[in-house]
Structure 1
Amino acid sequence: MISIVILTPHYASSTWCLKELMKILECKEIKQQIVLPVFYHIDPSDVRHQINSFGKAFAEHEGGFKDEKKNLQRWKAGLTEVSNLSGFHLKKDGNESEFIDQIIQWVDKSIIPHTSLRVAKYPVGIESRVEDICSLLCLGMNDIRMVGIVGIGGIGKTTIARAIYNLIADEFDATCFLPNVRETSAGDRGLVKLQEMLLSKILGGSNLKVDTDDQGINLIKERLCRKKMKILLILDDVNQLEQLEKLVGEQDWFGSGSRIIITTRDRHLLTNHDVNFIYEVQRLNEEESLQLFSWIAFKGDHLPFVEYRELMEQIIHYAAGLPLALQVLGSELRDKSIREWNSALKYYKGSRHLDIQKVLRIAYDGLDQNEKNIFLDIACFFRGKKKNDVIKILDNCGFSADSGIRRLMEKCLITTTTHWSSDELILEMHDLLQEMGREVVREESPENPGGRSRLWFHEDVRMVLEENMGTNKIEALLVDLPRGDDVIQLNPKAFMKMKRLRLFINRNANFSGEIHYLPDELRVLEWPKYHLPYLPSNFHGKKLIHLRMTCSHILGVRMEHANLTVLDFSHCELLTKIPNLSGHPNLKELTFSHCTNLEEIHDSVGRLDKLVRLDLCHCSKLWNFPRSIKLESLRDLDLGGCSSLLNFPDIDGEMKNLAEISLYGSGIIELPSSIKNISGLRDLRLQECKNLTHLPGSILQLPHLESLSIVECPRFDGEKLMEDNRQFMASIVPDREYELTSLPPNSSISNDDCYKKAAVQSLEFLSPENLVLSESNCFTNSSTWQPTLSYLDLSGSGIVSLLTSIKRFVRLRGLYLNNCEQLQEILELPQNIEEVEARGCISLDSFPQVSKKFQFDTSGDSLDKLDWLDLWGCRKMLKKLRNPVLSPSLRTVCICPSCLCVFVWLCVLLKIYNIGSTAIGFTWPCICWTRDSNQLVQFP
């Protein structure tokens, strides 16, 4: 349970509020209820020390009734206690919308159970080890404690850490499991990325950016210490003291009760960082090893046939109690015959010093050539990368990636995890398996890197490219240089001998020097920051499938690559035109975003049948686009920011797969009537299209359109759009879903500078913000809108009167008229209305139904379903509601003229806020007190 205490300047004036606070603090003490103070336009020190408005309130209480005097000290102590809790403070110049978002995020984190991490499929021996480590953690103590888990590779440190996380995570305010610290920190900006991940997981949100690791240290210290949060932080696979210093430097970075768990192979690392509690993971004993191996090799914990038992005991001896070795061997021997088991055992006996690498190598040797190639590519280049991206690249290299990866997973050589900030699957493998795979490659040519099939280590890569040591053996090359040493002086003939090179990926290097040759066997070429204006003239790249040259100085490419599926030249600011692509029928992705000098696109682009994604966003000089397009496979078209593009192409034939079109900030004047041929369109974004004047009448009749955004389009004729669709709207199917956002002004709805907004969802939600109705200033023409409308938002408009015709909206549940400063009268409301908001309507003085409602008038339409009424700041209405007798259906009413009200709308927002299947409840009636009536009104 969560109690949110909203403290305003006049909070202490209410003895009811003070009594409620005592009850909340009692629940905090007895039931461990979470309490969040919200300081709304009030300094926490005023609450803590009962000064200023709080001091004045208590001075009045001292002159009040005897019962109140007896409670004064308890109330003061309660206010002091709640002011010392971690909470939120909104100052008078603060952004209320952002403030609410912060509170919702906090509540979200507080009530959603922590997502469990994947532990071993067969967790043999884990429970006893977890219990031992928990005894070191001493969770009942309020100290800050670091605990190390040390052991050799493959012994199960990560699995144990994951199991501990799942067991105790819910006992902490926030949690973070940082996997693969060793590998991640070795990459470009690795420690910075880890710091960002830590801060994002602990503090919530994904937009927190860190520029340097020193800045990250300060952010971790300042934000975590200031929050005083009790956190659980697990750093998995640490191998350098610097990682600990920059992620968990000192214990006082964290709040009381926090626990930091570190897994490593290096005990000395832990003692150097003053980690005083260290658990060394022991190998599995014979019984545990038998159980785990039996689970894997025989798909169950039952004992195998008698003839297998003796062999199994001998094989387990060679696994030496390492869970990883048992998993690999068990997977390798699963479903094999006795003869195959005997053959494997004979091999093991032939190796006098059978170390773990040789045990793991057995599984590799059992792969076919396709599976071996995929395994080695993952071990050398793609561990920690998105599975779908890797499959595309490996398929492009001629491998059967999908089936091969599935087979590697069956043999326990690779696994998948979910990316920490998305639902995408990430390829993973154990450190020892990666080391084994890379050792396989090193053994191809121990002394000469140029004689190996794959190069990834930065010293080997530099030697080959700068000293022309490449050979015909090299198939794939990854350039990933350490920080501060990222320049390579190319030998002009560096690629001359690499005739079989199929994959070249540059992650972060800056190159200099000429290139005389690139091999035609290349399937994947990713070379961001390419430093030359053209690729070598003798490079034809007929097998090239994947070409990315982002942020390059390239001026153009001779398009001879007939098999291309992906072409990415984003941020290439020197490109001026896209040439004829008619010879590239297999293109699926075409990206030229942020090519700020790009002016022309060849008409052939409009006839690429297999094109799925076309991204030209922020090509600000683009003016020549294909006059017509017929892209049957296209799903995503982005022309946002193309401010020089005036004409949208005609749609030549049905394009049912195109779901999203972004024209944000483009120079488009109008859309053609043929837009109806994009029958699958769901989302059309037209924000800030300064030239847009017209949309075709058929636009709202697209069968799958869900969102149409038209924001700050000053020339757009919205009335004509509605007029063209009058007949359509009268016959629309009620369950039809789409959203029309941001309807700007037209001849009868005009305002040059205001931000315009309108929304329709399933023809149930209409929200024009800041509409100025220039003729009658009345919301009258309800025949334009279907009576199925459920929510109507006219907030900020210049409407003067809401006429009786609105009664036709029999399904209307919510009416929002906030800040309609010219609104004078609301004559009638539909009988099923549930919510009415008219905050800040300073001219409103006629609201007959509400006046009756306040006096329990049962004549006529009684609005029995109205349970939320907000007339905050409606000064003229206050005079008519001095002594209200409230109707039972009214759950909440707010009629306060200024800041003299409890933050009612925030309470209600949170009261109805649901996350997953968990609803947040609050103990509150809402209190509103008005200066004019000098009357405290309490609503149940």
Structure 2
Amino acid sequence: MAVSQLPSLIRCFLIKRKETQRPCPSQLFDQPVYFSGTQSKVSHSMTYDVFLSFRGEDTRFNFTDHLHSNLTRKGIRTFIDDGLKRGEEISPALLRAIEESKISIIVFSENYASSKWCLDELDKILESKETREQIVWPVFYKVNPSDVRHQRGSFGQALADYECEFKDDMEKVQRWRRTLTEAANLSGWCFMNGHESKFIDNIVEAISLQVLNHAYLNVAKYPIGIESRMHEIDELLGIGGNDVRMVGIWGTGGIGKTTIAKAVYNSIAHMFEGSCFLDDVRERSMSYGGLVKLQNILLSEILGVKEVKVTNVDKGINVIKKMLNGKKLLLILDDVNQLDQLNKLVGRSDWFGSGSRIVLTTRDKHLLIAHQVNLIYEVEKLDHYESLKLFTSWNSFSRTGHLKDDYAKLANKVVDYADGLPLALMVLGSHLCGRSIDQWKYALDGYKRVPNREIQEILKISYNALEDGVKEVFLDIAFFYKGLGEDCVIHVLEDCDLNPKYDLEVLVEKALINITEEGCIWMHDLIQKMGKEVVRQESPTEPGKRSRLWFHEDVYHVLTENTGTDKIKGIMVKLPAGVESDEVCLNAGSFSKMKNLRLFINRNGRLSGEVDYLPNELRFLSWPEYPSQSLPASFNPKKLVALTMPRSRILRLDLEFKSLKFLNLERSKFLRKTPDFSGVPNLETLNLDDCTSLVELHPSAGFLHKLVELSLTGCRSLTLFPRIVNLKSLLKLNLYGCISLENFPEIKGKMESLKYLNLSKTSIKELPSSQNWFHFLKWRSLKIQGVQNHL
């Protein structure tokens, strides 16, 4: 885009004033801001917005007075020397006023240089410009900038007089000459004749924009825990370096990303030539022309002009690159959620001048990775002390510094409920403020069933952005898999026709789940509650029409009233601590309508009666104390991955489940004989611990080539073990406490995966010698217990 095509107000920022140009009335030129390279932070409570430097006898009762009045009416805090006692040296009060101002306006008039006070004042202003990043704008009021720059006319006469007066201190005069030249080289305004009121309006408008642009953002009513998190981000930003650096602030909704970004902005914005905090980018870019509007806002705030008229996104990109390329800038884009937003607003590092810093806050880590942002800070949740402090700050009790004993106990419950999420603490703190102890109790009880709507809507934003398949994985984790091992969950989800290896990574990047160091899937309690509320809203009044059931009263209702439907994909039976429930008496039709049931997990429910039907769509069946003596004859789940029935009443078991990988029948005291395992060729884990009536392990168990773990501890009646074993993948074999077992099988082939073998407290007299298998095993890292006595 050519310069001539730009709006006139922007064009003036691109035009450099030359010495030969005649100053134009009411023209605002580009104002470069210089930095000393220091990183000292100025106070966030500067005393003045503007300091006015002027020659009293020239402009006190006309131009400067009118300028001061107009600025004050705009709410701009302006210092004017009105009544300070003058002496040989500039007063400490005046020096302090200069230092505590954001902007200095120097009104050069006919007799400005004839005042030594003014020249000392000018010297101090330029010093503050270098050391405190103060903005300095000259106003040439009925004087030619060239006369000031080269000390001609009245300025030349004044300096010549000083050379005579200070002939023994010529350095002072030379310093004044340098400051006059430096100040005159700054861009500003000039006025020779015309409408003075309009000229003043232009100055006030530009100052207003600059003050607004550099105004400190409101961070938070109670900024608890922000300082320590800012410190870590400061290290990533590395202010002072000449590189252009992009830093991401990443975390789940409500964790405090925006609050921290605002605090960072306030602490470092003064170190840059221009700065802009674009808030709520996700929401504002959704409307028609949203990105164009954001480009206009960015340009307007950086350039300090009232309005920029970029008409389309592609033109906006070019304008941003051309007009901001040489500037050292601070840009913060808050709540970005699409790569297109970054491409159109901050593009590449070479769009901006050296030393620039771009900060991006988002819930999506992959978005940062895709934009090649390698410096990423994951926001940590508040600890218990910080959480309690934030929550109590929202209550009138905080004025006394502590809570009453009855409230203190409930406050700790609120903190546990919020689990370090600042959003939840803020919302709950404000909602409970001033309420009685009983109202606190009622509110907390209600939130356990139905989450607070305000918190829910914020957290749900991340869920709404997920693809359908990822939503299914998220909801399954929220209901069934939180705390389970990643590998196990992947197995089950894959057999639910989902794509968990990709979907889990997406959920981690969206800060909806995390994988612990132990390899378990974890999720914040309030995010889990959000997922459960999403499902509750599928059918608020009839739980049988929801996709997943978890609340014990809903499960009881569906199973006893036979109101289940084909909408149900999963059921979790889990009674909360301290809650007693009547025994659920199943009938033949309890599961008959749930044709699409994939998961049934009974944690602690008391279910009785014969089970005549189970859906063939089941992938995960966990039912401790299973009440029937066998599985239904019609049960033929082709994709069942895990079958867990500890303490069951199973007498016999017929298995033709080719997808089955995990089988757990521990402490099933009625089981005497295992089934033929030929129908479960993919079995990886077989747990028959403490099946005290078990006599025989079917010979086919010796040829499960994918079996990794086989455990029969405490099977005191076991006498028949497969005579030949060829378990290529077996990692762990535990026969501890099989006191009736006398013979150990022959080893066929190489069991090179075996790492653990326990034959303690068995009746095995000797090991097979024909294989000389122990001689083979001893050369490898194998933990063996109870073997030495049998050699």
Larger radius of gyration: 2
**TM-score of the superposed pair, with normalisation by structure 2:** 0.45
The structure, 1 or 2, with the larger RCO (C-alpha pairs under 8 Å, 6+ apart) is 2
**TM-score of the superposed pair, with normalisation by structure 1:** 0.39
